[in-house]
Amino acid sequence: RLPLGPPRDGARPLGAGPRMPFLLRTEFIPQAVHRDVSTREALIAQPLVPDLYEFERVEVRPDEDGLFARRALSAGDLCSWYNGLRCTHEEASGREWSSKS
């Protein structure tokens, strides 16, 4: 059984999910934070580096069924950035509807 998330009430929840390592977050924050904009070929250059803004506001839980708030948010609060592969309006308009999501 693998750990499924951060400790809660001193215990780490366990489950039989996919075999993947559980990575603990450190308190280290890099001196230089850079903007990582997607391109036509890649979503981000450093996929294992957490977005510090999003990290304190939202999380994907072990069931990977959506994005969840880590703290109380007010209406209109920006909590996350949407990022996808860049394409032109013409490319997007020419796609089947099912592939636009």
In the chain, the number of structural domains is 1
Q: Is residue 16 situated within a structural domain?
A: no
Measure Cα distances from 68 to 40, 55, 61, 64 in Å: 28, 11, 7, 10
Q: Is residue 1 situated within a structural domain?
A: no
* Max CA distance (Å), the chain: 52
pLDDT at 4: 53
Q: Is residue 12 situated within a structural domain?
A: no
Q: CATH number of the domain at 60, please.
A: 2.170.270.10
Helix H or strand E segment including 90? helix 89-93
Q: Is residue 82 situated within a structural domain?
A: yes
pLDDT at 16: 47
Q: Is residue 20 situated within a structural domain?
A: no
Instruction: Divide the 101 residues of the chain into consecutive groups of 10 and give the mean pLDDT of each group.
Output: 56 52 54 70 79 84 86 84 79 72 51
Could you tell me the residue range of the domain that residue 49 belongs to? Answer: 28-101
For tokens 């839980």, the residue is 61
Q: Tell me, yes or no, if the pTM score tops 0.75.
A: no
Dihedral, CA of residue 45, residue 47, residue 52 and residue 54, to nearest 10: 110
pLDDT at 1: 46
